[in-house]
Amino acid sequence: MISTIAELRSFLAKARSEGKQIGLVPTMGALHKGHLSLVEACREECDLSVVSIFVNPTQFAPGEDFEKYPRTLDSDREKLATVEADVIFAPSTEEVYPPGSSTTVHVAGLTERWEGATRPTHFDGVTTVVMKLFQMVQPDRAYFGQKDFQQAQILLKMVRDLNLPLQMRICPIVREADGLAMSSRNAYLSTEERRASLVLYKSLQLAERFLAEGILDADRIRLAMEAEFSSEPLAKLDYVALLEAETLNEVDEIQSPVIALVAAWVGKTRLIDNLWLRPAPTTS
Amino acid sequence: MISTIAELRSFLAKARSEGKQIGLVPTMGALHKGHLSLVEACREECDLSVVSIFVNPTQFAPGEDFEKYPRTLDSDREKLATVEADVIFAPSTEEVYPPGSSTTVHVAGLTERWEGATRPTHFDGVTTVVMKLFQMVQPDRAYFGQKDFQQAQILLKMVRDLNLPLQMRICPIVREADGLAMSSRNAYLSTEERRASLVLYKSLQLAERFLAEGILDADRIRLAMEAEFSSEPLAKLDYVALLEAETLNEVDEIQSPVIALVAAWVGKTRLIDNLWLRPAPTTS
């Protein structure tokens, strides 16, 4: 458990000089099995796994849930012990952002739409803090979850565009038994809302079923997904989108794998989910 | 002489694994003694010196001198041989900016004024390409000239704000015998303009003389510097500024060291220069 950049650097410099491969799993804490699956993937590929726990203020807009975001450091440490993470890096806000910090990293083109439309400053906060963590840790590999699909695409682009010397790993979504994508924000849900939140995954499964039936028209699939939300009064749809993954552009017809994104409010909680849609191979 | 990032990385990985300290001198070529002094400083402190030569399109605005910026690779190589640079990295534009690149690094607060006022996109181009070069080379130390004072302050802030794991060295201005600060753009000057360009350094020396005489009022010094420019019809002043170095804020009274900046057009050529002004120690 390390809380200063200087201590982290001196620890990692030693490991690096011994030829150890370093993996980084950046988190905001409130860990669940999705996070732990990232640590497991990290441990499998790397000699040393660093898990950062930092609730990053710059990715929350005023009025969002920065203050009430769950902070559960003790239970996070216990969970990380079960997957044998090597280093927990849990710095203070002042350690990460000393007074006067004013440099940001911006990925144009992928950040304005979808999550960026309702959260216009969110992704600059994400790219900036991840860039900082990359520079603090200098990992050989970094692990992110597919749950935040747009975030993952943006970070992949940042790494490519700025020539960062590391490999990115995007790991599959981990779901509850009933299909709800694991998220630290699920803790906000009441019993009723928890039941209603299933509509996100249900709408994605519906899209998958349409595709299996040979329906490739994106508008038709989108409309069906939206109708699924109309049947759940506790959920308020923000968007459904069927996208080319790399550009996040909408497709008209599903001819190659596309990513289906959904975002919705369930009560006061904003939830997102996604699923790859792969058209069945055509027999010719 | 290396032109691809892959080849550069594999060469440097070997050097790094042998424990060599790597120094980087980023340049746009058209090398003069100022650049060579950076390479010399680099060679003194590091085991391996990398000089990048890349005329970075993103720091030129439309209508600026990107196309006609001097490109003198053969003579640059000869000059670098005299100071025994180890690696010249001269990538193509496509190697540095593949199609679709859209990520930028922005340092708010220091980039809007002075040079940023007349060149509003300039510094984002500089910070972004320097960040990319830092990631390609992963140097232990990087060397920049004080001639581009504001640029140096912005890069120092970027390194601090984003926790880059390297040391920055800002090296003194190298001047011609008559005082003109060396610059690749001096090559644009006609004989008449070359003579007129001395007004920049003369105005800085005038400020120094005022200070030596105990005049600490910034307005008075500025006015005298501006008057110096009025006496030179071939030069058109853009700004003179007496600044606190770290914030680039103007000072009213010189009580501690300040940096004096000047920027002016001489014909169609934009020149800048600067000088530290240090008040004489008071005897009490």
* Cβ <8 Å between A5 and B162: no
Res. B276: pLDDT tops 90: yes
Answer whether B8 touches A (CB < 8 Å): no
Kindly state the average pLDDT of the residues B268-279.
96
Half-sphere exposure of A125 (CA within 13 A, CB side): 17
B69-104 pLDDT per residue, tens: 999 999 999 999 999 999 999 999 999 999 999 999
Confirm if B145 and B152 have CB atoms less than 8 A apart. Answer: yes
Q: Is B53 a residue whose pLDDT tops 80? A: yes
Summarised one tens digit per residue, pLDDT across range B98-131 is 999 999 999 999 999 999 999 999 999 999 999 9
**What was the pLDDT predicted at A216?**
96
Short-list A135, A197, A283, CA closest to B135? A135
Q: What is the average pLDDT value for chain B, to the nearest integer?
A: 97
**pLDDT at residue number B282:** 66
Distance of residue A239 Cα from the nearest chain B Cα, in angstroms: 25
* Minimal CA separation from A9 to chain B, in Å: 9
Query: Is A102 in contact with B136 (Cβ distance < 8 A)?
Result: no
Cα angle A205, A210, A216 (rounded to 5 degrees) comes to 125
8 Å CB contact of B105 and A108: no
For residue A107, which residues of chain B lie inside 8 Å, CB to CB? 102-103
What domains, with CATH codes, occur in chain B?
5-171 (3.40.50.620), 184-276 (3.30.1300.10)
Q: How large is the C-alpha radius of gyration of chain B? A: 20
B102, B110, B135 member nearest A164 (Cβ): B135
Residue of chain A whose Cα is closest to the Cα of B101: A161
Any A CB within 8 A of B159 CB: no
Catalytic residues of A: 35
Q: What is the pLDDT along chain A (284 residues), one digit of tens a residue?
A: 999 999 999 999 999 999 999 999 999 999 999 999 999 999 999 999 999 999 999 999 999 999 999 999 999 999 999 999 999 999 999 999 999 999 999 999 999 999 999 999 999 999 999 999 999 999 999 999 999 999 999 999 999 999 999 999 999 999 999 999 999 999 999 999 999 999 999 999 999 999 999 999 999 999 999 999 999 999 999 999 999 999 999 999 999 999 999 999 999 999 999 999 999 876 65
Spatial separation of the C-alpha atoms in residues B199 and B202, rounded to whole Å: 5
| Facing A161 at nearest CB: one of B103, B108, B109 | B103
Residue-by-residue DSSP string for chain B? -B--HHHHHHHHHHHHHTT--EEEEEE-S---HHHHHHHHHHHHH-SEEEEEE---GGGS-TTSSTTTS---HHHHHHHHHHTT-SEEE---HHHHS-TT--EEEEETTTSSSTHHHH-TTHHHHHHHHHHHHHHHH--SEEEEETTSHHHHHHHHHHHHHTT-SSEEEEEPPPB-TTSPBP-GGGGG--HHHHHHTHHHHHHHHHHHHHHHTT--BHHHHHHHHHHHHHT-TTEEEEEEEEEETTTTEE-SB-SS-EEEEEEEEETTEEEEEEEEE-PPPPP-
Calculate how close chain A gets to B160, using CA atoms only, in Å.
8
- Contact present, A72 and A166 (Cβ < 8 Å): no
Amino acid at the residue B21: Q
Judging contacts by C-beta atoms under 8 Å, the chain A residues touching residue B20 are none
